């Protein structure tokens, strides 16, 4: 068997054409045996470039999917748009059933926030609410004051001509509190005002109410409340929530046609 195997393997030989092809290849690759193939020099550079491209892609990916700002919209559908640093919507979250239904019905992911906002305001659900004179509350949350003001200006320009709207800047801590209570930021601010007047009110009760209904309840309780000091002093003129963030930012609040709330068409 040893001889058989040896004899059989011995039949396999390199073809002359294969040897000649290999010699030609070596001649060409080494430019007549003078230079090593160029590929051996730039291959490490190519690898480095590939690594750099990968790192850049990872950074871009991270930047694209990092939440930077939030636009919180409350009318009756309550929903929030999470924005990246490129002002694109990276996720939409509904904070009540109507909000979830609206979020599911719209294709606004990765749109610019203004386009997304237009789509929401022009949606049948929101348009119906606005037609019923419901109050639209839009809060802009961003840790960077400059970005926040720019976003607020953009939001205000979108909201203009869409009924009674209230656009204002808010802070991250208050937003977290709102999420903890299961409410959008706008509704949470209204809830806090209501809570000051009616300590028995719960976030669950507020969740299904429209902003106008909450406001109406606040007005009713304010009218029947003999001690006006209990009302948050910040709501007067500024319509501010307990965080106090909005004071002094000068963005203005359009709530209230009477008393301390300046609701009105913006």
Partner 1 sequence: MRSEEEARRAIEQYSDLVRRLCMIHLKNHSDTEDIFQTVFLKYVLSSASFESPEHEKAWFIRVTINACKDLLKSFFRKHTVSLDEVLDQPAPLEDRHREVLEAVLSLPPTYKDVVYLHYYEGYTAPEIGHILGKNVNTIYTLLNRARHMLKETLGGDTGE
Closer of 30 and 247 to partner 1 (Cβ): 30
Instruction: Please report which residue ranges of 106-162 form alpha helices under DSSP H.
Output: 113-121, 124-131, 145-159
Closer of 12 and 131 to partner 1 (Cβ): 12
Report the alpha-carbon distance of residue 55 to residue 33 in Å, rounded: 38
Report the alpha-carbon distance of residue 239 to residue 118 in Å, rounded: 25
3-class secondary structure, 19: helix
Candidates 1, 131, 223, 229; binder of partner 1 (CB under 8 A) is 1
Determine the interface stretch with partner 1 among 27-35, 90-98, 100-108, 225-233 (rule: CB under 8 A): 27-35
Total residues contacting partner 1 by CB under 8 A comes to: 30
Determine the interface stretch with partner 1 among 8-16, 58-66, 130-138, 219-227 (rule: CB under 8 A): 8-16
Report the alpha-carbon distance of residue 152 to residue 142 in Å, rounded: 10
Q: How many residues does the chain have?
A: 266
111 is written with which tokens? 């749109």
Report the alpha-carbon distance of residue 175 to residue 184 in Å, rounded: 8
Task: Tell me if 21 contacts partner 1 by CB under 8 A.
Answer: yes
Interface of this chain with partner 1, residues 34 to 63, rule: CB under 8 A? 34, 36-37, 40
C-alpha of 77 from chain center: 17
Closer of 40 and 233 to partner 1 (Cβ): 40
Query: How crowded is residue 49: how many other Cβ atoms within 10 Å of its Cβ?
Result: 11
Closer of 37 and 161 to partner 1 (Cβ): 37
Determine the interface stretch with partner 1 among 32-40, 52-60, 196-204, 231-239 (rule: CB under 8 A): 32-40
Binding residues for partner 1 (CB under 8 A)? 1-2, 4-15, 18-19, 21-23, 25-27, 29-30, 32-34, 36-37, 40
């Amino acid at each position: 068997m040893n001889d058989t195997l040896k004899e059989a393997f011995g039949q396999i030989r390199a073809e002359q054409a294969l040897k000649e092809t290999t010699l030609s290849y070596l001649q060409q690759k080494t430019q007549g045996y003078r230079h090593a193939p160029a590929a051996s020099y730039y291959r490490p550079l190519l690898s480095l470039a590939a690594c750099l491209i990968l790192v850049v892609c990872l950074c871009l990916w991270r930047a694209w999917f990092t939440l930077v700002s939030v636009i919180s919209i409350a009318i009756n559908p309550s929903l929030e748009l999470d924005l990246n640093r490129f002002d694109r919507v990276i996720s939409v979250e509904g904070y009540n059933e109507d909000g979830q239904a609206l979020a599911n019905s719209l294709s606004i992911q990765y749109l610019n926030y203004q386009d997304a906002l237009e789509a929401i305001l022009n949606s049948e659900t929101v348009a119906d609410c606005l037609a019923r004179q419901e109050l639209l509350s839009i809060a802009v949350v961003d840790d960077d004051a400059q970005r926040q003001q720019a976003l607020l200006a953009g939001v205000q320009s979108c909201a203009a001509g869409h009924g009674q709207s209230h656009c204002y800047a808010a802070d991250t801590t208050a937003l977290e509190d709102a999420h903890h209570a299961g409410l959008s930021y706008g509704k949470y601010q209204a809830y806090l005002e209501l809570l000051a007047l009616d300590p028995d009110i719960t976030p669950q009760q507020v969740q299904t109410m429209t902003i106008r209904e909450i406001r109406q309840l606040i007005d009713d309780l304010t009218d029947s409340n003999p001690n006006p000091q209990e009302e948050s002093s910040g709501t007067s003129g500024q319509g501010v929530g307990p965080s106090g963030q909005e004071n002094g930012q000068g963005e203005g609040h359009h709530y209230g046609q009477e008393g301390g709330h300046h609701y009105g068409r913006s």
